[in-house]
Each structure stands twice: as C-alpha cells, then as structure tokens.
Structure 1
Amino acid sequence: MTLEKNFSPAAIETRWYSHWEEKGLFRPARDDAEPFTIVNPPPNVTGSLHIGHALDNTLQDIIIRHERMKGKDALWVVGTDHAGIATQMVVERQLNAKQQKRTDFTRDEFVSKVWEWKEESGGTITGQLRRLGCSMDWSNERFTMDEGFTRAVTKVFVDLYNKGLLYRDKRLVNWDPGLKTAISDLEVETVEKNGKFWHFKYPLGDGSGSISVATTRPETMLADMAVAVHPSDERYADMVGKMVKLPITGRLVPIVTDEHADPELGSGAVKITPGHDFNDFEVGKRAGFAPAEMLNMLDAEAKVCQTSDGLIPEDYLAMDRFDARKKVVAAIEAEGLLENIEDRVIQTPYGDRSNEVIEPWLTDQWYVDAETLAQPAIEAVKSGKIEIVPKSWEKTYFNWMENIQPWCVSRQLWWGHRIPAWFDTDGKVYVAEDETAAQALAGEGVTLTRDEDVLDTWFSSALWPFATIGWPEETTDLKRHYPGDLLISGFDILFFWDARMAMQGIEFMGDVPWHRLYLHGLVRADDGSKMSKSKGNVVDPLGLIDEYGADALRFFMAAMESQGRDIKMDKKRVEGYRNFATKLWNAARFCEANGIGASDTLKAPEASLPVNRWIISEVVETLETLDKALTDLRFDAAANTIYHFVWDRFCDWYLELIKPEMQGDNADETRKVAGWVLDQIIVMLHPFMPFITEELWHSMAADKGGRTYDLIVAKWPDPRANVDAEAKAEIDWIIKLVSGVRAAKVELNIPPGAKMTAHVRDGDTDLMARIERQKAALDRVGRLEHVTADKAPDGAAAQIVVDGATYVLPLEGVIDIAAEKARLNKAMEGVMKEAKSLEGRLSNANFVERAKPEAVEKARADHADKTAEAERLQAALARLG
C-alpha cells in the first residue's frame, strides 16, 4: 500500500469505522482485564448531532480509546433516551400534517405509531455519532423504553413508594398550556419581555381605607388569598390581621406578615396567589393555607375556570388568561382603584418546545423525596468517593443538593413509562409492578383505574449507569462495570441528570455510579455569545466534518477544552488541525519514500547517534506528559503536548536532522528509530485522531506484510527507555543555534538559503567537538558552511548567543549593509509612527470609554504588535553595528 499524495479524510473515515464496528473492536473480549467504564449521556431519540454533543462525545472517546489501548476491558455504554415530550410532539406534528390529532386514536394506537416512528426515523443521531468516530459498544445499544429498562424503571418507582420516598402531593408545577403537561425547570426558558407593572388599591373590608399592591399578572387577583407585608414594616402594623375586600370577586382575604414582602419594593405590600405563583405558594403555606385549600383559577389550557368558592363572575369563565388580564385591568380602573402603570422588562418563562408562556399551576403530581436521597450523594462528594472535576463545581453541587426541592416525576403525556399506580373509586392509590399485583393489594371486586400519567424522562435516565447493564438482574457486566470510572457531561445537566444518577445509584446499588465526574463548558459562537437558532450562529458539526474531517474537529475540541472554561468556536483553528493532519500525512509519505516503515517492537530501538537518542528521549517525555494530562483530564494539555511533539520535534527538526544520516553508516539505525517514533506518534495520537492514525498504522506496515491487528486495539507505548540528558543537550543546542541563525536572516532580509560562516567566541573543546560531530546537520539545516574558532573579521556582523557561547556571522558580501540599514531605519520610522498614533488613541479617555470594547481591544493588540515589531527592528539594526 502506498500513501496517496493528498490526505483525504472522507475517503478513509467511513471505511475504517465500518471495519471497527463489524469486527467488534469497540468491545474486544477481555474478561480477565481490569474494567474501565463510562456511560454516555443518552441523547434524545429525536435528536441530531449538535456542537455540544460533538464536544461531549469527543472527550469521552479520547478517554475510552486511551484506556482500551492500555489493555483494559473498556466499556462505553451507549443508547438513546425516549424523550417523552419531544418524541410525542414529533409524532403529533406528523398526524397534524394529515389533518389528524392524537385524540383521534386510543392511547395504545398512538403509542404504536410512536414506536413505528422510532423504528423508521429514531436513529439519526446514532449514525452521526459514528461519523464523529465514537467507539461505543453498539452491540449492546440501549433505549430507555426497552423491555428490560422498563422493568428497572417500574421496580425503582415501586420500591421508592414502598420506602416512603415517593408520594403523591398537590403542589405548584411549571405547567405548559400548549403541551398540557408539567415540565421540568430545564425545559423552561426565561426570556426578557417588555411588559407592565400594574399598581392597584385593595379596599379594606371595614371601609377604613385601602392598601396598595402591584403585579405583573393582574388576572391572578381573581384567585388572591392574602396580602402580605414585612413583619418589621411599621407602615402596616395597624393593618395586620385586617381583611381586604378584593375588587371583582368581593372575596375577603387577610393581611398577613411574611418576610417575602420587601419594604423597599413598591408599596411594600404584595398580593398572594398561592395557587399561581411559586413564592406565593410558600407564603400561603406559612400563612396556614393547606395546598388543598388554595384557589385555582385556570384550567389545563390556561383559561379561567371557577374557583372553589364560586366568586369569579360568570363573564370571566373560559376566557384566555391574557384576555382576562385586559378585562381585570379595565374593571379595576372602572372602580377607580388603578393607581399607576409602569413599563417594565419582565422575566417571562416559556416552554422550550411549545413556546407557550409557562403557568405555575396547582395540581396533583407524583414526587420523589429528593431531600432524603440527596444526603448520601452529598456525603459521597465530601468524602471523595465522587471527585468532581473541576473542583470549583463542588460549591454549586452542594448548594443545590442542600436546598433541593421535591422532584416532580409525573408528566401528562401518552409516550413514556406509564406510572405503575391504580386508583379505586374512592381515589385510594395502589402502587405495584403490574395490575395483578395492584388488584391483590386492593382486594377482589375492587374496581381499579390506572394512572394516566407517565414518568419524567429524567426519572428513567437517572438509572442509566446500572439499568443499561442488566439491573435488576445480576448480570456479569453489572458486577464488573458498576460503579463506573468516569462520567463526562455538560455542566448544564449537573442537577437534572448527574446528581439524580448519584442519588439513585447509591439508593439502589449501594454505591456511587461513577468515581469521577468531569463537567465541561459550552461551545459558544466565535464572539463568545451563546449559540441559538434565532441568532443564526449555530455551527453544524457535520458540516465541519464534511469540510475538514472528523479528526480535525475532534482535535479542535480537545485542544480548546480547558477545565472550567467555555469554548469559542473558531473554524480557522479547525482548519489548522486539518493542516496538522496533512503535515503528519506528508511526514509519513517522506518516511515511506526513504524506506522507513513500521516498527515491530514496543521497546525503543538501540541508538548511538545523538539525534536518535534525542528523539527517543523526546518520546519518553512526551508520553509521560501526555499520560499525566489524560489522567488529570486536562484535554487541552494532552492535545497540545502531542501536537507540539509531532509538528515541532518530529516533523520540523528530527526529519530534517536525519536527512544527512540516511545515506551514511548509521542509516539502518536511523530508519529503525524513525519508524519506531512514527509508530509511537500514531499510537499516542490515535485517541484524538482515530481515522488518519488507523490508516497510517496499516499503510506504514505494508512492506512487512501489513499489521496483524488494528491500531484501535494496539498497545499503548512502553518505550522502556530513559531520557538521555547528553543527547538532549546536544540536539537542543543545534535547534537553538539554527533557530537563532534563521531569526537573524529574517531580521536582516537575508535569503533563507544563503550559506554563512560562524566564528565562535567563548567556546571550549567540548563545544568544538560537538560542532565537528554535527557539521553535516549545521550545514544542511542551518546553512552554516563553516563554523570555526578563528577570530571573526572586522566589519558588520550578526551575533547570536547560545548556551554562553557567541556565534559571529560576518555580513560583508552577504548583504548590502548600507542599503539594509536604510531599509530598517525606514521601517522603524513607519512602525514607530503607527505605534505613537495607537498610543494616542488609547490615552484618549473618550475613545476608551465610548468605543466598542472590541475596538479598544483591537487597538491595544495592534499597539502591542507594533511595539514588538519596533523592538525586532532595533535588534536587527544593532546586529549591523
């Protein structure tokens, strides 16, 4: 096999992925090996790959490939989430396109249609994960509605109920009137909207005056149950305990004290609607109202309905909430009780899927006692059984877990895990794993009706680390691979998924679900803003793969992933890593053309030449740094370590330095070492760039009959060599000297290929011996024709200091010194003029304070560039004397 002249990612990616998967190489049989386990955050079955998925899964794949190559029984659990709301919406939209709706069908018929959709269209994202190169255990792919997974979900619900950790209660929820279901906080998007702040007067019941309140939702006054003032607010001390007679309804409600009322905000008095506001719900409870007594004025579609006291006038009933708002304001104004209307920006909650304004709604739902379950999960982090990386996230974790609220786990949908609860005609509930068991609890002859609701998808996905590998059965995988070693997730699901897995894992398995939790940031647009479809700044990872290849995108993700920071999308950087892949490809082609092939040994070859001993030392140091970075989950450090070794050390220096050796007495040694080093590069780079490395792994071994095994299951490097300090010192000296010569040529406008002579000052016999050994490399790579200890001739010269010795490079006859001085002086004048102009702008307070931040930042960067350029020009003039 001969490498093609040009590197083409598309030509190799599909071929190698199919090969790995067909041969079962993502989960090779290693029953006796040390297990290593990660679980993939299950993407929604309706989803497609977005840039956040690309980051999350790239990081996981780097780790799993690294651990697999270290010989471990590496399991990457994969599957998809049934995504209750999202999936039901997709299928309902398809029905709507046919002029049908969900309620035209029975529940079972509709669920059958969802399963049909899932089989036909529900695997889009899994195909896209393959394009990214994710080496998941597809042979055991799971789905949260699988039969086995459903059995686990049902058992957890029943067991939690029987332990008193799951119960039914009347509380406020985020109600989506469009979807007609409760939704989680994660599914609520708060948007700033221009709105109003209405100030009303509520008359006192005894006719002695009134009290002023303000609200952004006037319609809710139809269900007001109190007015609250702060206990220390002396303005209202005489009113506390009195009754207010509400406009429109005429309901008498008390004035109560509660610290929720802020004396500094508005009038200091607030209307309390416990059935329609989360804060008011708590105030209402403190005031003595039981949730069952709290008034509800809206139905499931957010239309006005009659409260239990029957005081809402008939002409308000069945009105949309926003129409009712206008009617309430008009009625209060007509009574002369409207004091003022302010324009105000309102933080308005919207359902992220329905785009409907979310309504806090009082309803009966199922809740998990999260406070009790949270205690062991808190202790697990405090004790170090779970390590959170970066550690800075611990404070956030503790803050949320220590103030956790009951977890609403029921949803008013048809698609999902049906709640295993049955009611008799009196409303008594029987929770059991199936209807037969529920009937046995209720007794013969008792008519039972099953709960219509399904479970929140986060409830089932909280079981992911153990339900995916067999629980409640005692499978071999469960024994070997629980608890897992690592979870990688975005910080945005720390509470909704990560913390809940910790709680459920400890409760049902008696141990944490994983020992380390790595939280990465968001991928943002290139200007640092959050990506959103409305802004039009969303980047499609599949488009980047089409343009630059999966390897380049993966390497970008790793190189930019710095603990605790978000990533700014930068297509130029992705392109740069495509160029990096091309650089490696061309280096492999050079090796191929010069008879350098694959190595047949893990151990570093024996080497006598300093350049070969040096590169082996570089491999040893690179490997040590790389392993530590991956162990510490410093993806940026790991990527940059291998990048600089490949580009700087191997390609730019080693391959250049060995060219003179390829025809000499040490050619065989050099070919062996070069082939071994290229092998180490291919292996170390594989977790980051799996496709190009697998291609090179096989191509470079073509002259030896090909590899008998694939790179994905090759052994991680084990050089069994020490760092050779003497060789490192010698080659590092060459690099510094040649770099100095090249820099001087650039500064003095000397052609790169011009041959020069160097006269050494302050050099000892060891240095001159080194120069003699390396004269071929200095001539070929440094273009130093002669390096001598003779005194340099008088006249202009460039001087380079390396390791205490000075190298004088005469310039007479190399360049026109007078013309070069004139050129440098002219360039210096221009640069200084620009620098002075920029300095003037930056010292102008008006510019700094009023200009756009990016303009000020650019001016500062330009000033720094011009100042540095002036220093370079000054140094060049100094070299000319």
Structure 2
Amino acid sequence: MTENAQQQPPAPSTDLPTQYAPADVEGPLYERWVERGYFEADAKSDKPPYTIVIPPPNVTGSLHLGHAFEHTLIDALTRRKRMQGYETLWQPGMDHAGIATQNVVERELAKEGKSRHDLGREAFVERVWQWKGESGGQISGQMRRLGDGVAWSRERFTMDEGLSQAVQTIFKRLYDDELIYRAERIINWCPRCLTAISDIEVEYQDDDGELVSMKYGDGDDTIVVATTRAETMLGDTAVAVHPEDERYKHLVGRTVKLPLTDRSIPVVADEHVDPEFGTGAVKVTPAHDPNDFEIGQRHGLPALTVMDEHAVITAHGPFQGLDRLEARSAIVAALRAEGRIVAEKRPYVHSVGHCSRCKTTIEPRLSMQWWVKVGPLAKAAGDAVRDGKVKIHPQEMEKRYFDWVDNLHDWCISRQLWWGHRIPVWYGPNGEVVCVGPDEQPPGTEAEGWRQDTDVLDTWFSSGLWPFSTLGWPEQTESLAKFYPNSVLVTGYDILFFWVARMMMFGLYAMDGTPPFHTIALHGMVRDQFGKKMSKSFGNAVNPLDWMDKYGSDALRFTLARGANPGVDVPIGEDWVQGSRNFANKIWNATRFAMMNGATIEGPLPEASKLSSTDRWILSRLNSVVAEVDAFYEDYQFAKLSDALFHFAWDEVFDWYVELSKTTFQAGGEAAEVSQRVLGEVLDVTLKLLHPVVPFVTETLWTTLTGGESVVIADWPKDSGFRDADAEREIESLQSVITEVRRFRADQGLQPGQRVPARLTLDGTRFAPHEAAIRQLLRLQPEGESFTATATLPVAGAEVALDLSGTIDVAAERKRLAKDLAAAEKEKSQANGKLGNEAFLAKAPDHVVEKIRTRLAKAEEDIARIQAQLERLPQA
C-alpha cells in the first residue's frame, strides 16, 4: 500500500462547484503558484538538480501548437521532478530572431514611408528594442495560460547584456584558436532580405521551372549541357565531365566557345559528375553553385559573379540590369536565335529553395563571410554520443545525428543585418584585423581609420550557448555550478542538426568537455488529424489559445501528451481535445461524488485484514500504475503514461471501484469507513500522478480533498510494493460477469435503467460478498415468487438466471436475429466459395485473399454470437 505522511493536513473542504469551469480556475491558480515561488530554483539548495532549458521561441511570434506540445512535455517532466524532491529549473527565455525581427520592424517603418537606412544603424536598433519592449510579452502570457512552470525570475533574452558578453567571449576564444575565419564561399543568399541565411531558414518546395539543354562549342568541339538556371551561364568558367566517360575524353583539356560571350572555357574531368545523368556533361559556375564552387576549387577555375545582391545581372552585355528571371527568358531566347537550344522541357518540376521569411527564391552566391571551422567541434559532438556521455532518445535517431555531425561543412555565421550580435572584429587603416574580447577596448577610433565589421552573427550562434550562457557563463556562477549540465533537452527532431548539434559543439568546447545535457529527448511535429502539416496556407493551422479558451488548458495538454510517442509526429483534431475536456470533467465529477460520499485521507490506511477484496484490488492496481507511470516517464513515453492514467482513472477508479463501493457506502458502518479511506488514498495518489500533465483541475481537486497547500509541492507517489494477485483475479472475474450480463441486456434491447428479476448462483468465496453490488450495477431485482428463468448465463464460474417475461417482444426479437443470422451465413458461404476456388486463389493478390479470410472469420463470429442470443431468448 502507498506510504502516508506522518503529519495529517487540515481537514479538507467538500465545497466544490457542481461543474468544472476552467476559465474561472486556471488564471488565478497560475498566479498563485508564481507568487508563492513554486517554480523558482535555488542554486544554494542541497537538493539534487534537475535542469531543462526552454527551446527559446522567437520574440517576433506567438506560441503555435508545436510550442504548446513541447512545453506540455517539458512541464510534465519538471513538475514530476519537483514533486520527487529535485531542485528543478525550467529555464525560460526568448531568441532575438535576427532576420524575422528586422523584417517585422522594417515593415512597420515602411508604413511610415521610411526604411532602416533613413534612420541609420544606431537609431534602427533602438527602434527594434522599442518594438521588443512593446510586443515581447505576448509569448509570456501564452506560457502562463498553458501552465508553464518556468523560473520567471531567471528569464533571459539572447540579446541581453549577460548573453551578449557570452557571445563575444566565445567568438574571441574560437577566433584565437583559429576555429573562426573569414573567407569567400558559396552561401544561401536572399535577394529580398539582403543577407546570407542558414540552411534551416531555406524551405524547399517543388516549383514549375524549365530545363533547357544548350550547345556549347562548334563542330567536333560541341558539347551539350542542361540547366534550370540559364542566366548563370554568363558566369560559366568550365564544362565538367566524368574522367571515365569515353564520349568526352577527346575534349578534356580543350576549350569550347561559351555562347553569347567572347570567352572560351575549358573542359575538365571531375569525379563529381554523374555520367548517367542527362548528357553526362555539366556547366560549371563557381560563383553561383556550391557544387560548382568545389569543382572550381579543385581545378583552379576563376569564379565570376554575374549578379548583385538584388539578383540583378551585372555582367557586361545586353542582359546587364535585368532581374535574374527576366534574364533567364532573354538568354534562352538569344540562344534559340543562334540555334544553340537542343531541347526545352516546360514545365519542369524541381525542388527550389526559398527564404522561410519572405518566400523569395534563394540565390547561391559567392560571398565574403565569417565561418566556424566545425571539424574538431563536430568530432567532439559525435564522440560524446558514441561514448555514451549523451544519450539520444529514441535511439534510432542517433543515425540521423551521426549522418549530420560526421559530414558537417564549415558554418557560415555572418549575416548582413543590423539587428543581432555585431561581429567583434575591427579593421585598421593598414589592413589590420583585430578581434576584441568583452573586456577589451576597440583598437582605435573611426577618426583614426578603424571600423567595426558591419555584419551580425547568425541567431543560431547565440542560441547554441543557451544551456550555459543563461546560467551566467563566462562567469563561474553558483547557478552554473549547480544546474549545468542540463538533465535533458526536449526538442523536435527537425532542429536536431541546427540547434542541438550547435549546442553540443559549443557546450563541449566552452565547458571543458562537459556536454550541455545528459539526454536528448526528441519528439515529432504536430500535424492535423489527417496527418497533414499545419500551415496557414493550408488553412489547418490552429491557435492553441482558441482551444484553451473553449476546452481549458488541461484538455489541450492532455491531448498533446497522449499523442506524444518519442520521435513520431503527433496528429491532433478538435474532437480529441473535446474528449480530453470530457476526461477533466469526469475527474471533477467523480472526485466530487467521492468526497460527498465520505472519501477521506484522514488517518492511516486500515490494515490489510480489514480491507475488502475490492479495496485490496484497487490498492494493488494503484501501486502497479505508480510503477508503470514512473517507468514510462524515465523512458519519455508520454503517450503511454497518459493512456495508462486515463484508463486507470476513468475505467478502474471511477467506473469500477466507485461503482462497486456504492452499496458499501450506502450500508454504512466500519466497512464503509474503510472504503472511504481507501477511496481517499486512491484519489490522493491518482491526482498526484495526473498533476504534471493536467495541473489545473488536479490542483483544485487535490487541495480540496486533502487540505494541503498545493499539489505542485506535494510528494510524488511511491510504489510501496503492495500487490494482491488474488484480489485482482477476483475483481477481474466479477467485471467479466457484469460486462457479459450488460452485453446480454443490450442485445435483448433492454433499457439501461430497466429492472429485471434475476436469480444469482454465485461462488461463495468469490462473488457472494459482491451480490448487492452486482444487483445494483446490473439493475437486477430479487427473484420473487413468480420468477421463471427464461434465460441463463453461465459466466466466470457464476450463473445469472433472468426472467425476461413481458420485458421484450420475443417473437419480434427472434425474427430480427433470424434475419441477421441469415445474412451472416450468406456472407460465410460466399467467402468459403471464393477461398475454395483454386483458380481464384491463384490469380488474386495476397491482400485480397487476406481480406476475404478476415470476412470469413467475422461472419463465423457473428453466427456464433447470434446463435447464442437465440438460445438465451425465452421459449415461445
């Protein structure tokens, strides 16, 4: 049996409203939790630490359903650990979201007829801070609505003073260790946002384009290449073929005339070329394609930039000044006029990268940028998982992690923006380059010819420091000593590479080889009920506040947790949230009923000898569920633990134990007092187990039931080891009797409340003590003098004889069942006919044959069921 506190709380109140109204409860409860400091974390505490950081949402936005999902899982973990006695820190904060935030403020300026250039850099940045101050509180409000138990006093922002110092510190260290450098490379360039963007900010989609095959050179020197971006041919500096391709061996080392220009370009042999794809020859444009850039590096080819930052052609000639799309059409037309077009395919559907912010087509572009040399950092990040220092859950996600970190390219960290952490590098009048640390002064003034780099750092650079910068690093603070490394990182598999890998690299580098977390628990993405990605453009996006307003925060949280299988996407529909609301109402109503019937936690649990088999059964099941839920939590199986609690609370506690105990309560006496105490114990533990997932309704009910201060700080239940297999078998058999008789009543068309005379022949040791409960639950009257058994049901060692005389139209029921029986027998005959036809079996696909076998099995089950019903009907 479960453990009991030594000191009893004040006598509980039974004053619960008849209906649960989430809107009246949730807001005041949350503010009470915050005011009492339940979510704060004390670095001086001698309790063991448990730390989770919030994946920082962008300051520009609001919480979407994916955020609500992730926050629910993290909150459940931290609430449980807090109840288990850990010094728990859920670290809140937000990301400055460089491009997104700058775009928002620039749009606001555009409404005033201004651009950021009209303001200048300093005034524009001040304007962004002003916008952040006015708009940044929206996310905090939504987190409170959801019930997030974060340490609000520790809230951080990636651009605040402390985190900015951390960014400058690690940049300086990486620079001094020659792990940061500046070089010309191909980057993802957005011609609208006018900046390099990270891979995660590129969205790929299938676009209708054109594939043009064009002829370079003349006569024996002719070679055909194909492209979807004809405008880049102005920057071609070679044609590449595979070294073993016999078709082109005579051309390797020679030059061909580049159409529409006065240049000739070489034919080079490179193993990157796939001889089986297209013509086996590819045009090489080193300044406008990442693969071509690599080919160019291997062969010493020049890189000619033929477009500016707006994707406008800069190459001298008739196409200069044209937008890239205008130039594409014009160049194809000019090639066609010269007879250079061999083939054209329109539309040609292919994957094209777009800026996730403005949807503009990305332009690969050669650009001078700052880079992180990730080789040694990525190796350390991979080794930490291989060596078992960090575990990835589910384990099958490890392969994706290794595929990424083992093949990671150097990381472009500079962005051509004004909002963000400015790169701490200064250039001198005589070509000097000086990286400045956080405690150092710039090497000179602008008047002396010194200027700071104008670029800012990629947002992922600062968010990669999140697990330790939020704790005060680079200072060796008490919080850093207490709460680093994090216990677990809970995040979506979609940012495994972009955020998780960067935190691993930076954490291991900055914290002397200590990884930023022990476990990476990956979850899937929230989708609609049909499994489709949620998107405003699809019309299926959901604002979580809408569902919380309608059904309560607990209902949304429980729905999300119940769908959370590790690493798997989560479908969700409004009817499922409504079902979870019904569950919250069930918890409320059943607890209220139990308390009205004397459920209590006062006094110790009675000795086992005083417990009925029903009491022993529910306490045995309670301890099994405690153990089961604990195991699921340790394995991050939120769906399984939620499902286990749902069925235990609804089915076993409310639908069985409470119902089986009603007659005991009504009878009164010592047995009733024992069951009232058992019911109080079961509710106490069940509400605690449910609390991390559905905190609001459980807090209200638990404090009312127990008189305790708050379930947030209550002790987490422990499995006492009490089990009673005999009691479990007895109640399972009793359930079988009741379920079978209920099914028979329904089959006979009896109304649920309709009372029927019955004779019960019960096993004296098992069922006799339950006769009153059986009769009450099954609406069975005593036999009476005129009793005639018209139907007898032998079930689980008991026998229930019913007198259905006058309760049903026997003739009509026989007619209905006979019709159903004939249909089932016809279905069986047809299925047997097909399965006995060798010619049919030889030709039919396996899935068709299997479907017919399933139909046969179903028909045989229906026949057996209907025949049994006919046999049980009273004789005419």
TM-score, normalised to structure 2's length? 0.91
Q: Name 2:95's counterpart in structure 1.
A: 81
Say yes or no: does 1:4 pair with 2:5: no
Cα distance in structure 1, aligned partners of 2:474 and 2:680: 51
Does the 8 Å CA contact 1:532/1:538 hold for their aligned counterparts?
Answer: yes
Deviation of 1:836 (Å):
9.7
Q: Name 2:755's counterpart in structure 1.
A: 754
- Structure 1 pair 605/808, CA: closer, same or farther in 2 (3 Å)? closer
Q: 1:519 aligns to what SS in structure 2?
A: strand
Amino acid at match of 1:680: V
Does the 8 Å CA contact 1:607/1:673 hold for their aligned counterparts?
Answer: no
Amino acid at match of 2:819: K
Does the 8 Å CA contact 1:412/1:453 hold for their aligned counterparts?
Answer: yes
Q: 1:392 aligns to what SS in structure 2?
A: helix
Deviation of 1:347 (Å):
1.4
Say yes or no: does 1:263 pair with 2:275: yes
User: Quick one: percent identity of the two aligned structures?
Assistant: 44
Q: Structure 2: state its 5+ residue gaps.
A: 1-12, 837-849
Deviation of 1:337 (Å):
1.3
Deviation of 1:868 (Å):
6.5
Q: 1:485 aligns to what SS in structure 2?
A: strand
Q: Name 1:304's counterpart in structure 2.
A: 313
- Structure 1 pair 429/340, CA: closer, same or farther in 2 (3 Å)? same
Deviation of 1:823 (Å):
2.2
Within 5 Å, give how 1:248-397 maps onto structure 2. Answer: 248-289=260-301, 293-306=302-315, 312-313=316-317, 315-343=318-346, 344-397=348-401
Say yes or no: does 1:149 pair with 2:163: yes
Q: Name 1:550's counterpart in structure 2.
A: 553
Q: 2:732 aligns to what SS in structure 1?
A: helix
Match of 2:187 among 168, 173, 176: 173
Q: Name 1:18's counterpart in structure 2.
A: 31
- Structure 1 pair 684/175, CA: closer, same or farther in 2 (3 Å)? same
Q: Name 1:807's counterpart in structure 2.
A: 799
Q: Name 1:697's counterpart in structure 2.
A: 702
Cα distance in structure 1, aligned partners of 2:692 and 2:276: 58
- How many aligned positions are there? 840
Deviation of 1:653 (Å):
0.8
- Structure 1 pair 585/528, CA: closer, same or farther in 2 (3 Å)? same
Match of 2:692 among 687, 695, 713: 687
Q: Deviations over 1:524-579 (max 9, x none)?
A: 12211111111111122111111111101111111111123211112211111110
Cα distance in structure 1, aligned partners of 2:751 and 2:427: 90
Deviation of 1:673 (Å):
1.4
Cα distance in structure 1, aligned partners of 2:489 and 2:373: 24
Q: Name 1:644's counterpart in structure 2.
A: 647
Q: Name 1:108's counterpart in structure 2.
A: 122
Q: Name 1:309's counterpart in structure 2.
A: none
Say yes or no: does 1:402 pair with 2:415: no
Deviates more, 1:477-486 or 1:121-130: 121-130
Does the 8 Å CA contact 2:606/2:674 hold for their aligned counterparts?
Answer: no
Q: Name 1:797's counterpart in structure 2.
A: 791
Deviation of 1:602 (Å):
9.5
Say yes or no: does 1:771 pair with 2:771: no
Cα distance in structure 2, aligned partners of 1:46 and 1:835: 63
Q: Name 1:97's counterpart in structure 2.
A: 111
Deviates more, 1:382-391 or 1:813-822: 813-822
Deviation of 1:19 (Å):
0.8
Does the 8 Å CA contact 2:788/2:803 hold for their aligned counterparts?
Answer: no
Q: Name 1:853's counterpart in structure 2.
A: none
Cα distance in structure 2, aligned partners of 1:235 and 1:263: 10
Q: Deviations over 1:99-123 (max 9, x none)?
A: 1111001211000000000011112
Does the 8 Å CA contact 1:16/1:691 hold for their aligned counterparts?
Answer: yes
Cα distance in structure 2, aligned partners of 1:371 and 1:97: 46
Q: Deviations over 1:350-369 (max 9, x none)?
A: 11111111000000111111
Cα distance in structure 2, aligned partners of 1:246 and 1:746: 85
- Structure 1 pair 141/870, CA: closer, same or farther in 2 (3 Å)? farther
Amino acid at match of 2:730: E
Deviates more, 1:513-522 or 1:280-289: 280-289
Deviation of 1:647 (Å):
0.3
Amino acid at match of 2:683: L
Q: Name 2:223's counterpart in structure 1.
A: 211
Deviation of 1:84 (Å):
0.3
Say yes or no: does 1:563 pair with 2:559: no
Cα distance in structure 1, aligned partners of 2:832 and 2:273: 53
Q: 1:213 aligns to what SS in structure 2?
A: strand
Cα distance in structure 2, aligned partners of 1:459 and 1:841: 66
Amino acid at match of 1:75: L
Q: Name 2:842's counterpart in structure 1.
A: none
Say yes or no: does 1:585 pair with 2:588: yes
Deviates more, 1:20-29 or 1:677-686: 20-29
TM-score, normalised to structure 1's length? 0.90
Deviation of 1:471 (Å):
0.5
Does the 8 Å CA contact 2:755/2:781 hold for their aligned counterparts?
Answer: no
Q: 1:732 aligns to what SS in structure 2?
A: helix
Cα distance in structure 1, aligned partners of 2:534 and 2:260: 46
Amino acid at match of 1:733: S
Cα distance in structure 2, aligned partners of 1:215 and 1:366: 30
Amino acid at match of 2:37: G
- Structure 1 pair 36/255, CA: closer, same or farther in 2 (3 Å)? same
- Structure 1 pair 590/867, CA: closer, same or farther in 2 (3 Å)? farther
Deviation of 1:794 (Å):
10
Deviates more, 1:808-817 or 1:610-619: 808-817
Q: 1:774 aligns to what SS in structure 2?
A: helix
Deviation of 1:828 (Å):
3.9
- Structure 1 pair 51/868, CA: closer, same or farther in 2 (3 Å)? farther
Does the 8 Å CA contact 1:798/1:880 hold for their aligned counterparts?
Answer: no
Amino acid at match of 2:776: R
- Structure 1 pair 611/330, CA: closer, same or farther in 2 (3 Å)? same
Q: Deviations over 1:797-819 (max 9, x none)?
A: 343331xx252534563645444
CA RMSD of aligned residues (A): 3.0
Q: Name 1:596's counterpart in structure 2.
A: 599
Deviation of 1:265 (Å):
2.2
